[in-house]
């Protein structure tokens, strides 16, 4: 079928990798489950043989006018065996269905966790280059598809497959002719379901696409609903939407129609086959056609009767296998995407210089200590002679001739040098895309420089363990991201061991205490959906408090106050000044008034430093900064 080829074909090896994982997670439970499934499947096929035997006895009894005692002598042992078999099968079914629940959820949990854990170790670049919606769909759609596969697909395949094989051999045991007939019928069924399934798969793909389009449109309009209203655009949007909606309806209609029709058609082919077996079987018996079979027995009515049931079972199970094919293909495609995430190269960290609590004696001698002293030092082991040196953490950050580009061949920063002495405030000014944020991305090693060097307290930052490097850098971004949890929890995110008092202290420092105490539940107020119940400025204040509680020697403020109004900013900036005291601070600000007191202002343009100096120097230069700063006044 050409249509089938349009289905996403997962790479080879995905299935075996999935199986290997399944077995390694549950080395005992999975084999037990498989054995139980196979056993119960076989146990449910054997009765067909017994039905035949019982029927044969009845026929014999009727023909020879046996009394019940004589017949029951043969029937009762069979019945006992049957009951035993059924009891065992029920036990097996109970065991495997319960185990499947454990295995499925356990496996999904492990997949979810290892994907999430892996994700935490991926570099920022991964998140900058992948749509968040796509990443989310690994956790939702793909995991759901896997759930379908493991809890239903695989057991069905195993069970139905076993039954098909078992029934096939039983059929062969009785009669080749009737088996052949059944096989012909099944081939017809498979051909029809392949044809219909192909159509259905094609339209399901289309439906998926239309669904995506519709979802995208709805999302866009719902997010911009207020703009739609302001522009009286309701009817235009409605028209566009109706078009998309109609297309989705059509595609979804076709996809479902194929899928819905498949069932009755295949089932009735089964019914016709059933009739054919009856009629042809009957004819064969009547005409005493020579029977070929493993058992070598003559074709009798009892065999035909048993065959009727076997045909039903056979076709029913083939049908079940066919129905699972789509789900299996989809799940494997999902599994492949999940594996791709797991195979991503994680953020490497070859750093070995760590940050330790230190006691610094009067003569400048640094001693490592376990307890929290408020003083920190870089612990620098030297591989050459095995010695360890300690450098006090000061917050001296220097960049020398740094080049960088997010993509190869596209340089964003050219030859940038920045010297920040401990306690200095360095400001970056420039248009969007000038490379301000990029510089901060390099200091905390979200990205690695292409050329040049960056030194932190004289240490090459590549030698510093990333987690320790970032611990020493406080970060407040323009886009505030808060987490579900209380306000207090959110502030504590900066320092997990902080006491409530420390957190409140930090909030006071950031000027956030005032509004927090006015919230319905004060510091215990639960935030949800990225703090949707707070204004942007309030969120920003919490983010600043979060950075404050971490008490880092170096702070990076990337447009941290852009969404705070100037009056509130006045409150914040008092706190910020407190916060910045004794720290090295890198500031990116839109409002130039906030950076007037910086020790050094660097004006960036297209990734190059075009001017640098303090406010007075730059104003005196009457260059770019002067233009920016006085732009508005000049025009008056």
Partner 1 sequence: MHILKRLLSCIREYKLPTILTLIFILGEAVIETLLPFITANLVTQIQESSPMNTILRTGIILTIMAVISMLCGGTAGFTASKAATGLSKNLRHDMFEKIQMYSFENIDKFSSSSLVTRMTTDITNVQMSFMMIIRMGLRSPLMFLFSTVMAFYMGGKLAMAFVVVIPVLVIGLGLISKYAMPAFHRVFRKYDKLNESIEENVRAMRVVKGFSREEYEKKKFSNAAEDIRKDFTKAEQIIALNTPLMQICLYFDMVFILFVGSKMAIIDRTIDIGHISAMLTYGVQILMALMFLSMIYVMVTMSVESAKRICEVLEEEPTLHNSEQSLELITDGTIEFENVSFKYSAQANKFALENINLTIPAGQTVGIIGGTGSSKSTLVQLIPRLYDVSEGSVKIGGVDVRNYDLTTLRDAVAMVLQKNVLFSGTIKENLRWGNAQATDQEIIEACKLAQADEFVESFPDKYDTHIEQGGTNVSGGQKQRLCIARALLKKPKILILDDSTSAVDTKTDALIRQGFREFIPETTKIIIAQRITSVQEADQIIVLDNGKISAIGTHEELLQSSHIYREVYEQQTHGGEE
Binders of partner 1 among 85-144, rule CB under 8 A? 86, 89-90, 93-94, 97-98, 100-102, 104-106, 108-109, 112-113, 116-117, 119-121, 124, 127, 132, 135-136, 139-140
Sign of CA dihedral 526, 528, 534, 538: positive
Beta bridge partners of 600: 426
What's the sign of the alpha-carbon dihedral 21, 25, 30, 32?
positive
Least distance from partner 1 to the Cβ atom of residue 537, Å: 4
List beta partners, residue 454: 399
Strands 584-588 and 354-360: unpaired
Interface segment toward partner 1; rule CB under 8 A; list 23-31, 74-82, 160-168, 447-455: 74-82
In 3D, which of 13, 7, 5 has the Cα closest to residue 339?
A: 13
In the list 170, 573, 585, 586, the residue contacting partner 1 (rule: CB under 8 A) is 573
| Consecutive H or E run containing 121 | none
Question: According to CB under 8 A, which one of 32, 61, 165, 450 is a site residue for partner 1?
Answer: 61
Q: Which residue has the tokens 């007191």?
A: 597
Q: How much helix, strand and coil, in percent to the nearest 5, is found in the chain?
A: 65, 15, 25
State which of positions 595-614 bind partner 1 (CB under 8 A). Answer: 596-597
Nearer to partner 1, 139 or 176 (CB): 139
x/- contact string, 41-60, with partner 1 (CB under 8 A)?
---x--x--xx--xx-xxx-
Of residues 278, 265, 261, 262, the one with CA closest to residue 182:
278
Q: How far is the CB of 415 from partner 1 (least distance, A)?
A: 24
CB of 120 to partner 1, least distance (A): 4
Binding residues for partner 1, rule CB under 8 A, total: 168
- Under the binding rule (CB under 8 A), the answer on residue 172 touching partner 1 is no
Query: Bridge-partner residues for 416, per DSSP?
Result: 402
**How far is 515 from 507, CA to CA, in rounded Å?**
10
Q: Which of 621, 633, 632, 569 is nearest to 595 (CA)?
A: 569
Among positions 507-536, residues that touch partner 1 (CB under 8 A) are 529-530, 532, 535
The token duo for 7 is 């289905």
Residue 11 beta carbon to partner 1: minimum distance, rounded to whole angstroms: 25
Instruction: Please identify which residue in the block is written with the tokens 């094609």.
Output: 202
Q: What is the DSSP letter of 407?
A: B
Instruction: State the minimum distance, in angstroms, from the CB of residue 362 to partner 1.
Output: 32
If binding is defined by CB under 8 A, does position 190 make contact with partner 1?
Answer: no
Min CB(475)–partner 1 separation in Å: 4
Candidates 8-16, 218-226, 289-297, 372-380 — which segment interacts with partner 1 by CB under 8 A?
Answer: 218-226
- 543: Cα separation from own chain's centroid: 27
Measured between alpha carbons, how far is residue 370 from residues 355, 357, 367, 399, 478 in Å? Answer: 12, 6, 10, 32, 36
Residues 220-249 that bind partner 1 (CB under 8 A): 220-238, 241-242, 245-246, 248-249
Return the residues of window 355-414 that contact partner 1 according to CB under 8 A.
Answer: none
Task: Take residue 513 and report the two structure tokens written for it.
Answer: 């205490």
Residue 453's Cβ-count burial label (10 Å; 0-12, 13-18, 19+) is: middle
Minimum gap (Å) between residue 233 Cβ and partner 1? 6
- Cβ-based nearer residue to partner 1, 88 or 367: 88
- Shortest distance (Å) from residue 300 CB to partner 1: 10
Q: 3-state class of 300 per DSSP?
A: coil
- 309 binding partner 1? (CB under 8 A): yes
- Joined together, the tokens standing for residue 489 give 């929890």
391 φ, ψ to 5°? -115, 125
Site string for partner 1, 252-291 (x = CB under 8 A): xxxxxx-xxxxxxx-xxx-xx-xxx-xx-xxx-xx-----
Q: Is the dihedral of CA 40, 44, 49, 51 positive or negative?
A: positive
- Positions 448 through 477 that interact with partner 1 (CB under 8 A): 466-468, 470-471, 473, 475, 477
Radius of gyration of the chain, Cα coordinates, nearest whole angstrom: 37
> Contact letters (x/-) for partner 1, 319-358, by CB under 8 A?
----------------------------------------
Q: Residue 97 CB, nearest distance to partner 1 (Å)?
A: 4
Kindly tell me which of 357 and 417 has the beta carbon lying closer to partner 1: 357
Of 1, 35, 73, 79, the one binding partner 1 (CB under 8 A) is: 79
- Please select the residue that binds partner 1; options are 570, 582, 617, 620, rule is CB under 8 A: 570
In the range 427-446, which residues lie near partner 1 by CB under 8 A?
A: 431-433, 444, 446
What is the SS3 assignment for 244-294?
HHHHHHHHHHHHHHHHHHHHHHHHHHHHHHHHHHHHHHHHHHHCCCCCCCC
């Amino acid at each position: 079928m050409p249509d089938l080829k349009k289905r996403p074909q997962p790479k080879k090896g995905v299935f075996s990798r999935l199986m290997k994982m399944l077995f390694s997670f549950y080395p005992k439970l999975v084999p037990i489950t498989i054995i139980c499934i196979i056993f119960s499947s076989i146990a449910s096929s054997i009765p067909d043989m017994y039905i035949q035997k019982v029927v044969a006895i009845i026929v014999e009894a009727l023909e020879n006018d046996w009394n019940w005692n004589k017949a029951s002598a043969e029937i009762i042992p069979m019945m006992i065996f049957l009951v035993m078999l059924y009891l065992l099968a029920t036990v097996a079914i109970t065991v495997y269905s319960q185990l499947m629940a454990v295995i499925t959820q356990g496996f999904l949990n492990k997949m979810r966790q290892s994907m999430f854990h892996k994700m935490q170790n991926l570099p920022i670049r991964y998140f900058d280059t992948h749509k968040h919606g796509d990443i989310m769909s690994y956790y939702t759609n793909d995991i759901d598809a896997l759930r379908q596969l493991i809890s239903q697909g695989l057991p069905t395949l195993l069970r139905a497959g076993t039954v098909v094989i078992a029934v096939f051999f039983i059929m062969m045991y009785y009669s080749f002719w009737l088996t052949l007939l059944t096989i012909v019928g099944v081939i017809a069924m498979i051909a029809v379901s392949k044809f219909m399934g192909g159509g259905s798969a094609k339209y399901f793909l289309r439906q998926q696409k239309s669904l995506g389009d519709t979802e995208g449109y709805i999302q866009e309009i719902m997010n911009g609903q207020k703009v739609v209203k302001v522009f009286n655009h309701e009817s235009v949007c409605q028209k566009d939407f109706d078009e998309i909606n109609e297309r989705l309806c059509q595609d979804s209609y076709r996809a479902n129609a194929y899928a819905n029709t498949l069932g009755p058609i295949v089932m009735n082919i089964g019914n016709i086959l059933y009739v054919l077996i009856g009629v042809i079987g009957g004819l064969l018996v009547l005409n005493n056609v020579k029977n070929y079979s493993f058992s070598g027995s003559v074709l009798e009515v009892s065999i035909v009767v048993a065959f009727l049931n076997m045909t039903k079972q056979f076709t029913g199970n083939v049908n079940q296998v066919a129905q699972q094919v789509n789900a299996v293909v989809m799940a494997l495609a999902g599994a492949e995407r999940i594996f791709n995430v797991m195979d991503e190269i994680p953020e490497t960290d070859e750093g070995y210089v760590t940050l330790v609590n230190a006691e610094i004696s009067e003569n400048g001698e640094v001693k490592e200590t376990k307890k929290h002293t408020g003083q920190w030092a870089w612990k620098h082991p030297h591989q050459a002679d095995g010695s360890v040196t300690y450098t006090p953490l000061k917050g001296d950050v220097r960049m020398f001739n740094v080049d960088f580009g997010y993509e190869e061949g596209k340089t964003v920063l050219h030859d940038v040098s920045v010297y920040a002495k401990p306690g200095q405030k360095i400001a970056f000014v420039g248009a969007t895309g000038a490379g301000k944020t990029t510089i901060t991305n390099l200091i905390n090693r979200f990205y690695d420089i292409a050329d040049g060097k960056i030194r932190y307290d004289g240490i090459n930052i590549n030698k510093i363990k990333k987690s320790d490097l970032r611990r020493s850098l406080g970060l407040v971004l323009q886009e505030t991201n808060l987490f579900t949890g209380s306000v207090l929890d959110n502030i504590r995110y900066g320092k997990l061991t902080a006491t409530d008092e420390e957190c409140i202290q930090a909030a006071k420092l950031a000027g956030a205490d005032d509004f927090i105490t006015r919230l319905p539940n004060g510091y215990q107020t639960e935030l949800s959906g990225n703090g949707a119940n707070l204004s942007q400025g309030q969120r920003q204040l919490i983010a600043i408090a979060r950075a404050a509680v971490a008490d880092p020697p170096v702070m990076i403020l990337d447009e941290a106050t852009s969404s705070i109004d100037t009056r509130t900013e006045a409150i914040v900036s008092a706190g910020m000044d407190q916060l910045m005291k004794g720290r090295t601070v890198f500031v990116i600000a839109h409002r130039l008034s906030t950076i007037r007191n910086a020790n050094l202002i660097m004006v960036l343009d297209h990734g190059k430093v075009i001017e640098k100096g303090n406010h007075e120097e730059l104003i005196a230069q009457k260059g770019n900064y002067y233009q920016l700063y006085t732009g508005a006044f000049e025009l008056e």
